[in-house]
């Protein structure tokens, strides 16, 4: 696990069909492309799945035209067995320890769909082992983890796609970006990400750890605490519900922020906003008290249930992140405004496309000229596998991801401390606030530090 600069592998051939894929014409009502030809049928890619929960299973189903799941790692043996049956007819090798997947020379691509606190460590170790990676969002739990991931990505040159699949939604988000890039909104002065709030819970009792689950390994780098589950089984600090615990996640601010703040930041970039934000301020309500940024109670959900933040950029542009209005992204410029969500793209500049369509290559330009196909999740996988074969930067690269995830993490820190933060985007430090700067990182539990080789 020590190859800092792995050599490019000899299977780095771009299939001629993939290279020949045509760009989707402007004004299309739905993407149409040769999904099945992104990777030829004779060229199936062996993949290792790390984390076989809801999203890992869903993603492997999205990618099944192109990949064979040959190895699966999960700390829940019941989930492992189910995934092996459903994804590989029982033929995959299964492991409790994901490092066994990374050791295999026959696997060049891994998918990481573990809970958020278990992303950075396997991503870095996979890059160092020479793998290309599709990792679920949010890529990190802290701002400092993002610095490390970007450094290792630059040093290894590995291809890393983040699971922000909205970037591959050609008739909605990608099209909205094309409208922005063509200048149809003029200079943008305000973007808004409405992402919903987190649920609350009553105190969730300590419970017996299910027999299939290695709870100590599930916790991994996070503090060693008891397993909790409500009597009806619905609320827990484990599978799926980890999202509502600061210890394992950033709550909605990173769960959905990773999607919609990403679109906001992408729009600003395409509109020429090259400098990062300078401050973030707002209010957040948490279900438990936080003192100096740390939750006081450890027996119930603790991430922000309600919030509104204003992120300020040089030149006066603002980004609003809030929980309390229709889920989606609002982009406002001097010439008009558009709203885009997973269900619709609307606004006068959208209606104006009937009279004056986008340029033929407008969406392709936003999509870095990469092949386009199908619907969001499948298209995002096609993008990753194409970029793996071509050794090109994918559409959701770690660098743009971390630039925007910094904002989500800053919102979390600002909300937990209850004060405005001034941000130096170049040095990636909070200005003049030692307590806040201490929250750019979190300690890793002994035995679960990142293995740098
Ligand atoms: N892109 C999207 O739209 C989208 C949607 C849902 C979830 N997600 C992301 O996917 C990730 C997983 O979410 P989920 O809802 O599938 O959670 P989940 O709890 O259902 O699944 C996570 C799985 O990872 C396993 N796991 C934990 N630690 C592990 C380790 N060290 N090694 C191997 N396996 C380990 C767990 O046992 C579990 O089976 C999260 O980061 C979430 O934010 C993304």
Q: Residue 178 above 70 pLDDT?
A: yes
Residues 282 and 213 in one domain: yes
Q: Identify the CATH number of the domain in which residue 426 sits.
A: 3.30.360.10
Average pLDDT rounded to a whole number, residues 329-346: 98
For residue 218, the ligand 1 atom closest to its alpha carbon is 28
Q: Is the C-beta atom of 100 inside 6 A of ligand 1? A: no
Q: Residue 443 is encoded by which pair of tokens?
A: 């300690």
What confidence score (pLDDT) does residue 385 get?
94
Q: Which residue has the higher pLDDT, 309 or 370?
A: 309
Residues 317 and 433 in one domain: yes
Q: Is the C-beta atom of 53 inside 6 A of ligand 1? A: yes
pLDDT in tens, 137-162: 999 999 999 999 999 999 999 999 99
Domain ranges, residue 266:
173-363+400-438
Q: Model's pTM, two decimal places?
A: 0.93
Q: Confidence band (pLDDT; 50, 70, 90) for 132?
A: very high
Q: Is the C-beta atom of 136 inside 6 A of ligand 1? A: yes
6 within some domain: no
Element (H, E) at 310: strand 306-312
5 within some domain: no
Q: Is the C-beta atom of 253 inside 6 A of ligand 1? A: no
2 within some domain: no
For residue 56, the ligand 1 atom closest to its alpha carbon is 16
Q: Residue 333 above 80 pLDDT?
A: yes
> Do residues 175 and 345 lie in contact, with contact meaning Cβ atoms separated by under 8 Å?
yes
3 within some domain: no
Number of folded domains in the chain?
Answer: 2
Q: Confidence band (pLDDT; 50, 70, 90) for 130?
A: very high
223 within some domain: yes
> Do residues 228 and 203 lie in contact, with contact meaning Cβ atoms separated by under 8 Å?
no
Residues 300 and 392 in one domain: no
Q: Is the C-beta atom of 255 inside 6 A of ligand 1? A: yes
Q: Identify the CATH number of the domain in which residue 133 sits.
A: 3.40.50.720
Q: Is the C-beta atom of 262 inside 6 A of ligand 1? A: no
For the chain, what percent of residues have pLDDT higher than 70?
91
131 within some domain: yes
Q: Confidence band (pLDDT; 50, 70, 90) for 125?
A: very high
Rounded to whole angstroms, the Cα distance separating 363 from 349 reads 16
Average pLDDT rounded to a whole number, residues 387-410: 96
pLDDT in tens, 283-315: 999 999 999 899 999 999 999 999 999 999 999
Residue with tokens 């006066």: 316
- Phi, psi angle pair for 434, to nearest 5°: -65, -40
Residues 199 and 334 in one domain: yes
Q: Confidence band (pLDDT; 50, 70, 90) for 42?
A: low
Q: Residue 22 above 80 pLDDT?
A: no
Residues 315 and 179 in one domain: yes
CA of 116 to the centre of ligand 1 (A): 7
Q: Which of 295, 327, 318, 331 is nearest to 197 (CA)?
A: 327
What confidence score (pLDDT) does residue 43 get?
74
Q: Confidence band (pLDDT; 50, 70, 90) for 41?
A: low
Phi-psi region of 76 (alpha: psi -120 to 50; beta: other; left: phi over 0): beta
Burial of 262 (0-12, 13-18, 19+ CB in 10 A): buried
Hey, whose CA ends up nearest to atom 28 of ligand 1?
Answer: 218
What confidence score (pLDDT) does residue 40 get?
54
Q: Is the C-beta atom of 70 inside 6 A of ligand 1? A: no
pLDDT in tens, 70-109: 999 999 999 999 999 999 999 999 999 999 999 999 999 9
For residue 241, the ligand 1 atom closest to its alpha carbon is 19
Q: Is the C-beta atom of 221 inside 6 A of ligand 1? A: no
Q: Is the C-beta atom of 76 inside 6 A of ligand 1? A: yes
Q: Residue 23 above 90 pLDDT?
A: no
Chain mean pLDDT for the chain: 91
450 within some domain: no
Q: DSSP state, 317? A: -
DSSP 156-199: H---EEES-GGGG-TTTHHHHHHHHHTTTT-SEEEEEEE-----
11 within some domain: no
What confidence score (pLDDT) does residue 21 get?
34
Mutate to test the pocket of ligand 1, among 48, 49, 55, 444 (most ligand atoms within 8 A of CB): 55
């Amino acid at each position: 696990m020590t190859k800092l600069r792995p050599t490019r592998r000899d299977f780095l051939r771009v299939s001629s069909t993939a290279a020949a894929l045509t760009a989707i014409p402007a004004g299309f009502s739905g993407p149409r492309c040769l999904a099945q030809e992104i990777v030829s049928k004779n060229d199936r890619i062996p993949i290792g799945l790390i984390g076989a929960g809801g999203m890992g299973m869903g993603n492997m189903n999205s990618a099944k035209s192109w990949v064979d799941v040959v190895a699966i790692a999960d700390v829940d043996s019941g989930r492992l067995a189910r995934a092996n049956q459903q994804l590989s007819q029982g033929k995959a090798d299964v492991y409790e320890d994901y490092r066994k997947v990374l050791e295999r020379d026959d696997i060049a691509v891994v998918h990481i769909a573990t809970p958020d606190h278990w992303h950075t460590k396997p991503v870095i170790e996979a890059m160092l082992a020479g793998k290309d990676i599709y990792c679920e969002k949010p890529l990190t739990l802290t701002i400092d983890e993002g610095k490390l991931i970007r450094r290792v990505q630059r040093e290894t040159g590995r291809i890393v796609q983040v699971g922000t699949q909205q970037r591959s939604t050609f008739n909605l988000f990608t099209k909205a970006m094309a409208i922005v890039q063509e200048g149809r909104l003029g200079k943008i002065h305000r973007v808004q990400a409405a992402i919903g709030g987190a649920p609350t819970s009553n105190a969730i009792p300590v419970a017996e750890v299910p027999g299939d689950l290695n709870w100590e390994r599930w916790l991994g780098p996070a503090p060693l605490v008891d397993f909790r589950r409500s009597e009806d089984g619905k609320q827990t600090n484990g599978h799926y519900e980890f999202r509502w615990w600061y210890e394992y996640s950033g709550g909605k601010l990173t769960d959905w922020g990773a999607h919609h703040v990403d679109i906001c930041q992408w729009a600003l970039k395409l509109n020429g906003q090259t400098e990062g934000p300078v401050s973030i301020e707002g209010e957040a309500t948490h279900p438990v008290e936080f003192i100096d940024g740390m939750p006081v109670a450890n027996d119930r959900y603790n991430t922000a249930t309600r919030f509104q933040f204003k992120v300020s950029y040089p030149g006066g542009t603002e980004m609003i992140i809030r929980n309390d209005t229709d889920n989606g992204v609002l982009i406002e410029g001097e010439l008009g405004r558009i709203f885009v969500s997973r269900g619709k793209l609307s606004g006068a500049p959208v209606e104006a496309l009937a009279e004056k369509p986008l340029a033929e290559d407008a969406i392709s330009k936003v999509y870095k000229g990469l092949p386009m196909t199908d619907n969001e999740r499948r298209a995002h996988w096609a993008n990753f596998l194409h970029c793996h074969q071509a050794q090109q930067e994918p559409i959701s690269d770690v660098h743009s991801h971390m630039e925007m995830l910094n904002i989500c993490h800053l919102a979390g820190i600002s909300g937990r401390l209850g004060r405005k933060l001034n941000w130096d985007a170049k040095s990636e430090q909070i200005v003049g606030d030692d307590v806040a700067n201490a929250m750019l990182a979190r300690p890793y539990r002994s035995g679960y530090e990142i293995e740098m080789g």
